[in-house]
Amino acid sequence: MDENIINNIHAIATHDWAKRFLCEYGNAGVERLASSYRDGQHCTWQSKHNGSFNSCHKVLFEDGTAWAVRYPIPGRVMHSDEKIRREAAVMMSVKKRTQIPVPKVIALGAAADNHDPLIGPFLITEWVEGKPLAIVLEELPRPSWGPVLRQDVEEDQLRKVYGQMARILLELAAHDFDEIGALVMTEGESESDRWSIVARPMTLKVNEIEAGGNVIADDHDLPAFKSTTEYMQNLVQQNITHLHEQGNSIDDASDARQKKYDSGPFKLVCDDFRFGNVLVDETSLQVTGIIDWEWTYTAPYQSLFCPPPWLILERPTSWTKNGEERCKQKLSVFLQCLEEEEKRLIRSAYDDPPDRCMSSLMRDSFEDGTFRFMQLLQEAFNFDEEILWRNLEKALRRRGLLEVGVPSKKEVESFVRAKVAQLDQYNQRLQAKESNDGQEVQV
């Protein structure tokens, strides 16, 4: 299936935005916006750092103060204004209530607040020096299946990295929530007030399904979820909606046939918490800042207490058998680091019994199949990888759940006929478009 073709309209939106930014807004537009939030003081554009979802620009004021000015990229972010509001709320809340090194939010605005509304909303934060940890740890040249951890990373270096990452996860785990959804900041909020949860999460998965599949899998404006069961049912429904509504969500009839086949406390989870968004001093490997909090929300504790998918850089949905074995080895090291951090916290404020500690629950999650289940639920497209499915099947069989929800043969064949017809229509439209594009090129 070709995700790039179905996403053509979003690719055009990204291209048009980038062209306008380069040709009309430019570095001067970034300087003008930043200066307007510091009493008109002059600043100078320094550099640009584009990520998967944002265009980030460094500006420097005459007194040495440096800011980051970030713009969501249309076509990659589906609901930019709301994304900015939610991300800022998370960053301000985490900075206020934890020791996690989060950049201070200076200002934020909707598209209407930008001097060029067509460039869209923005978020201004303090600038944090550092190099993405993924760059420091990645094996080069990168293999075809994606980034992998360098084999020559010394264990003491890895333990330092894992220890700091473990400390961040434990800080997030220390806060409980009554509902599953998005965080908002309340005007005049006092130190004793709790974070407010008012609507469903805006997740990386739902954004990717809409951006890459042209399917709206969920409505983030609906009320927050009250229970884990309700939330898990919704995650499954997102996959069903995606499968049924995306025109090319199958490859053929055989593929279609294969694909057919509670109340808290909740925790703060960031879908994009990974080495690429952790800035470090390259020499000491000391963490200097955590960036990109847009896909953050409260979720069932299982989401946070699963083994991190970034331990070897390679995503679990890209694992080979060798990748799974390497992850097991690094997970053992990570859990040792996590246990050391837990012991430090137990001496102060962390009071979970040993069998409920994060390290214990992560170990259980990897062994009983929960980790695989959560990884598959959170994926937008890579949902049929052999390694994850094989291990998940064992876990479901132990629980007596392997046959739960399995459709009848009649239902499967009806679904296959509908999806094959949908795929034929998609291919016809695609051929017509390619033919028209070719004629335009000849003219």
- pLDDT score of 13 more than 90: no
Least confident of 154-163, 191-200, 226-235: 191-200
Dihedral sign computed on CA atoms, order 325, 329, 331, 332: positive
Amino acid at 279: L
- Which residues, other chains included, contact 242 with Cβ-Cβ below 8 Å and sequence gap of 6+? 209, 213, 215, 217, 249, 380
The pLDDT, as a whole number, for residue 122 is: 96
Question: Cα(221)–Cα(223) distance, rounded to whole angstroms?
Answer: 7
Question: Cα(375)–Cα(21) distance, rounded to whole angstroms?
Answer: 36
Mean pLDDT of 111-138: 94
Question: Cα(251)–Cα(433) distance, rounded to whole angstroms?
Answer: 20
84, 121 Cβ separation under 8 angstroms:
yes
The pLDDT, as a whole number, for residue 434 is: 65
Least confident of 5-14, 129-138, 285-294: 5-14
Question: Cα(443)–Cα(248) distance, rounded to whole angstroms?
Answer: 30
Question: Cα(133)–Cα(313) distance, rounded to whole angstroms?
Answer: 10
The pLDDT, as a whole number, for residue 45 is: 97
pLDDT band at 443 (very low <50, low <70, confident <90, very high): very low
The pLDDT, as a whole number, for residue 440 is: 47
The pLDDT, as a whole number, for residue 281 is: 92
Mean pLDDT of 134-138: 92
Its pTM surpasses 0.85? no
Amino acid at 9: I
- Which residues, other chains included, contact 164 with Cβ-Cβ below 8 Å and sequence gap of 6+? 286, 287
The pLDDT, as a whole number, for residue 229 is: 79
What three-state secondary structure class fits 74?
strand
The pLDDT, as a whole number, for residue 156 is: 92
- pLDDT score of 76 more than 70: yes
pLDDT band at 41 (very low <50, low <70, confident <90, very high): very high
Question: Cα(409)–Cα(422) distance, rounded to whole angstroms?
Answer: 20
The pLDDT, as a whole number, for residue 264 is: 65
Mean pLDDT of 271-280: 90
- Which residues, other chains included, contact 260 with Cβ-Cβ below 8 Å and sequence gap of 6+? 407, 411, 412, 415, 416
pLDDT in tens, 387-401: 555 555 555 555 454
pLDDT in tens, 182-200: 888 665 544 444 568 888 8
pLDDT in tens, 235-249: 777 666 656 555 555
Helix, strand, coil percent values for the chain (each to nearest 5): 50, 15, 35
Mean pLDDT of 365-373: 80
pLDDT in tens, 317-354: 777 667 788 888 999 999 999 999 998 875 454 455 55
Least confident of 10-14, 21-25, 184-188, 389-393: 389-393
CATH topology (fold) of 1-127: Phosphorylase Kinase; domain 1 (3.30.200)
The pLDDT, as a whole number, for residue 207 is: 75
Q: Mean pLDDT score of the chain, rounded to an integer?
A: 80
What three-state secondary structure class fits 7?
coil
Measuring CA to CA, which residue among 290, 329, 295 is closest to residue 164? Answer: 290
The pLDDT, as a whole number, for residue 24 is: 94
Question: Cα(375)–Cα(316) distance, rounded to whole angstroms?
Answer: 7
Question: Cα(127)–Cα(92) distance, rounded to whole angstroms?
Answer: 15
Domain ranges of the chain: 1-127, 129-178+264-382, 409-437
Amino acid at 177: F
Task: Give the H or E element holding residue 289.
Answer: strand 287-290
Burial category of 190 from C-beta neighbours within 10 Å (exposed 0-12, middle 13-18, buried 19 and up) = exposed
Question: Cα(148)–Cα(412) distance, rounded to whole angstroms?
Answer: 38
The pLDDT, as a whole number, for residue 27 is: 96
